[in-house]
Amino acid sequence: MVFASMTSLLGMIPLLAIGMNYYRYQYADPENKVLEPQYVKRHYDFVVVGGGSAGAVIANRLSEVRNWSVLLLEAGGDETEISDVPALAGYIQLTDLDWKYQTIPAPGKYCQAMKGDRCNWPRGKVLGGSSVLNAMVYVRGSKNDFNHWAALGNPGWDYPSMLKYFLKSEDVRNPYLAATNYHETGGYLTVQESPWRTPLSIAFLQAGMEMGYENRDINGAKQTGFMLTQSTIRRGSRCSTGKAFIRPVRLRKNLDVLLHAEVTRVLIDPKTKRAMGVEYTRHGRPQVVYARNEIVLSAGALNSPKLLMLSGIGLADHLAEHNIPVVSDLPVGNNMQDHVGLGGLTFVIDAPLTVTRSRFQTIPVAMEYILRERGPMSFSGVEGVAFLNTKYQDPAEDWPDIQFHFLPSSISSDAGEQIRKILNLRDGFYNTVYKPLQQSETWSILPLLLRPKSTGFVRLNSRNPTQPPKIIPNYFAHQIDIDVLVEGIKLAINVSNSQAFQRFGSRLHNIPLPGCRHHTFQSDEYWACCIKQFTFTIYHPSGTCRMGPASDPLAVVDPRLRVYGVTGLRVADASIMPTIVNGNPNAGVIAIGEKASDLIKEDWGMRRAPSPAAAG
């Protein structure tokens, strides 16, 4: 999820727009209020923990069975009038809607330009989860990702099987996409191209063609290529999973949604090893609720492993360190993967076409959004995405190893007001490299490594559930990750050097990063140094409760997402990914929620399971 990328508009929107959107959010949309139950029952058939990109889907789909009672527990509150506006996404970070996690310092290895050598890892603490904080980029990943999952011993997770779940959720609003076999209309999740963009977006597509790449629907038959961003937006506003999947069904009698309910532990019978219920705190009071059938953890790739470990499911040695009795000895928290790249790769142009503070801090801009649901305020920040092959990747495989996020703005576009804060940049670093650009016309590319060889891990800080998890991303443990990224940076510079951008006088910002001045500017050694300085993650942690067959030593859940060694407990979120998907994972996590719902229905006799041939 590209949280910082859209913040070039931060500080540019008048308070009038926020106030008017508050009116629209509260009163104009009859489906906006999530009604909490007057009282919580002692027992439910299913308890879903986490109302994010997967949990909201699961709560919706399970409550389709009218004689099942479903409780959704979400640690945060509901969305706000600010989170609904795409251009204001950066304001949400470091607020109560964000868990505000940070990585553990690894001096000299990564995040060196950040205060305390810590990269911020925003995570959504709100109904809708990180789909409320992200840049709304809709990318499904490569078909090779899912076929690889199946090849690892996970039947039913191949691309043809997963495509039907992408289609099931989707309500695409662009007719040319709806006419293809790779998109669908009528689902809960609205997907469309942004109604507003700068002229540079077309230059980005033209540059891709000059470099030999096709302009294509990267969610279609092939992934390699350039495209205008498809986004989870609806009528100019964010379409989170809370808005898409919970608000329309909020009046179902068999679905209770409890906000500000932070789960602290899964209750497991030590003799039968069956998950019976969960403990949670709400308004400072500890409470317990029980599940007759199952508990589904959809708390995300950081909090799901944390909850498992607090409940006695994890590496025995680590649990012993915190005096937690072992229920099931599993590699919980291992296998953590993330998309990482170089931040701040900035280019300067001569034409007044970029997103700047002065250009969009106007009443007309605000009124265009309020009255027509269009204009710069409907802009998520990422105008285009591309998937490219470095020299390390066979182009015939259609499994690109680098992704670009194209932004008609840069870190300096908000005059240092918010972006530097949410990126945790050191003041001296920002003032030296980016402050000189505050009056310039700038655009940027975020080159990302798609399939890292390096993996990290999540651990407990203590057995106190209020403590954040210990996050060790372990970036760049393998040299090949740096080598691929360096080639990706060179490809990004080629975009600027294209005729499409040269007509605007595009050139690379040439102030070297302070910690890399001892290298020749633009040399491979310089870029390798920059990656460790301005390490940029778009916050896609995954894989920490890996799905796999019993023979997989890294597996935590089986191919039906059931936790090994325990009954009545599943995990369904980004943590179950055996390997990270090729692109922004929000769409994939929603599909995991759809798939998990069908698995649960099959196992409880509510729908027929596919034949082995169809599943394979």
Residue 206 within any structural domain of the chain: yes
d(CA 559, CA 157): 8
Closest CA to 500 of 210, 197, 228: 210
Report the C-alpha gap between 144 and 222 in whole angstroms. Answer: 10
Q: What is the pLDDT of residues 278-331, one digit of tens each?
A: 999 999 999 999 999 999 999 999 999 999 999 999 999 999 999 999 999 999
Q: Are 309 and 460 contacting, i.e. CB atoms less than 8 angstroms apart?
A: yes
pLDDT of amino acid 23: 45
Q: Does some domain include residue 224?
A: yes
- Phi–psi pair at 86, nearest 5 degrees: -50, -45
Q: What is the pLDDT of residue 417?
A: 85
Provide the residue count of the chain: 616
Q: What angle do CA 37, 42, 45 make, to 5 degrees?
A: 90
Cα separation, 217 vs 207, in Å, equals 16
Average pLDDT score over residue span 55-71: 98
The answer to whether residues 285 and 261 touch, using CB atoms and an 8 Å cutoff, is no
In this structure, the strands spanning 328-329 and 313-314 are parallel
User: Does residue 544 register a pLDDT over 80?
Assistant: yes
Top-confidence residue, 615 or 429: 429
Q: Judge whether 172 and 231 are in contact, CB under 8 Å.
A: no
424 is in an annotated binding site: no
Q: Which residue has the higher pLDDT, 616 or 419?
A: 419
Q: How confident is the model at residue 33 (pLDDT cuts 50, 70, 90)?
A: low
3-state secondary structure string across 299-325: CHHHHHHHHHHHCCEECHHHHHHCCCC
Which of 21-35, 168-182, 231-245 is predicted least confidently? 21-35
Domain enclosing residue 114, as ranges: 4-8+35-463+470-615
d(CA 369, CA 196): 11
Which pLDDT score is estimated for 373? 82
134 among the known binding-site residues? Answer: yes
Q: What is the mean pLDDT of residues 24-31?
A: 46
What percent of the chain lies above the pLDDT cut of 70? Answer: 93
Q: Which ranges of 423-546 does DSSP label H, i.e. alpha helix?
A: 427-433, 479-497, 499-502, 524-533
User: How many other β-carbons are positioned within 10 Å of the β-carbon of residue 579?
Assistant: 17
The CA-atom distances, in angstroms, between 477 and each of 126, 331, 472 are 33, 20, 12
Higher-confidence residue of 38 and 30: namely 38
**Three-class SS of residue 545?**
coil
d(CA 469, CA 305): 9
Q: Residue 39 is encoded by which pair of tokens?
A: 């009282």
Give me 425's structure tokens: 């940049």
Contacts of 69 (CB under 8 A, 6+ apart): 41, 43, 44, 45, 46, 254, 256
Residue 16 lies in a domain: no
Q: What is the mean pLDDT of residues 564-592?
A: 98
Residue 284: count of CB within 10 angstroms of its CB: 5
Write out the two tokens for 558: 């089986």
In DSSP notation, 181-222 reads TT--SSSSEEEEE-S---THHHHHHHHHHHTT--B--TTSS-
Element (H, E) at 291: strand 285-297
| CATH classification of the domain holding 596 | 3.50.50.60
Reply yes or no on whether the pLDDT at 1 is more than 50. no
Q: In the prediction, which pLDDT does 345 show?
A: 98
Judge whether 239 lies within some domain: yes
Interior angle at CA 243, CA 575 and CA 239, nearest 5: 80
Residue 540 known to be catalytic: yes
- Please provide residue 400's backbone torsions phi and psi, each rounded to the nearest 5 degrees: -55, 155
| HEC sequence for 326-362 | CCEECCCCCCEECCEEECCCEEEECCCCCCCHHHHCC
Please tell me the predicted confidence (pLDDT) of residue 352: 94
Determine if residue 136 is labeled as part of a ligand binding site.
Answer: yes
DSSP-based three-state secondary structure for 237: strand
CA 396 centroid distance within chain:
28
Residues 80-136: tens digit of each pLDDT: 988 998 888 888 999 999 999 999 999 999 999 999 999 999 999 999 999 999 999
Work out how many domains the chain is built from and give that number. Answer: 1
Task: Identify the CA nearest to 593 among candidates 576, 578, 572.
Answer: 572
Asked whether the predicted pLDDT for residue 13 surpasses 90, the reply is no
Distance from C-alpha of 615 to C-alpha of 95, rounded to nearest angstrom: 43
pLDDT score at 433: 97
- The per-residue pLDDT for 32 is 58
Q: Which of 30-34, 245-249, 380-384 has the highest mean pLDDT?
A: 245-249
**Could you tell me the pLDDT band of residue 459, with boundaries at 50, 70 and 90?**
very high
Confirm if 614 and 164 have CB atoms less than 8 A apart: no
DSSP β-ladder status, 569-571 and 285-297: parallel
Whether residue 191 is annotated as binding a ligand: the answer is no
Residue 365 annotated as binding?
Answer: no
Per-residue model confidence as pLDDT tens digits over 490-502: 999 999 999 999 9
H/E stretch holding 262 = strand 261-268
Q: CA distances (Å), 197 to each of 74, 202, 204, in order?
A: 35, 9, 12
Closest to 572 in 3D by CA, of 564, 562, 580: 562
Q: Given the structure tokens 């989707």, which residue do they identify?
A: 170
**Considering 183, 339, 405, 540, which one is annotated as catalytic?**
540
The residues near 361 (Cβ < 8 Å, ≥ 6 apart) are 11, 12, 13, 14
Residue 315: predicted pLDDT: 98
Average confidence score pLDDT of the chain: 92
* 20: in domain: no
Pair of tokens at residue 189: 């999740």
Q: What value does the mean pLDDT take over residues 213-218?
A: 98
Question: 556: which 2 tokens?
Answer: 């935590």
Please indicate, yes or no, if residue 530 is contained in any of the structural domains. Answer: yes
Question: Which residue's entry shows tokens 């470095």?
Answer: 390
pLDDT of residue 608: 64
Average pLDDT over residues 461-466: 96
Q: Is the pLDDT of residue 15 over 50?
A: no
Q: Is 528 annotated as a binding residue?
A: no
19 in any annotated domain: no
CA distance to 141, 148, 205, 223, 227, per residue, from 398 (Å): 11, 13, 19, 6, 16
- Decide if 56 contacts 593 (C-beta within 8 A): yes
pLDDT band at 362 (very low <50, low <70, confident <90, very high): confident
Domain-embedded: residue 94: yes
Q: What is the mean predicted confidence (pLDDT) over 478-487? A: 98
Name the residue type at position 542.
S
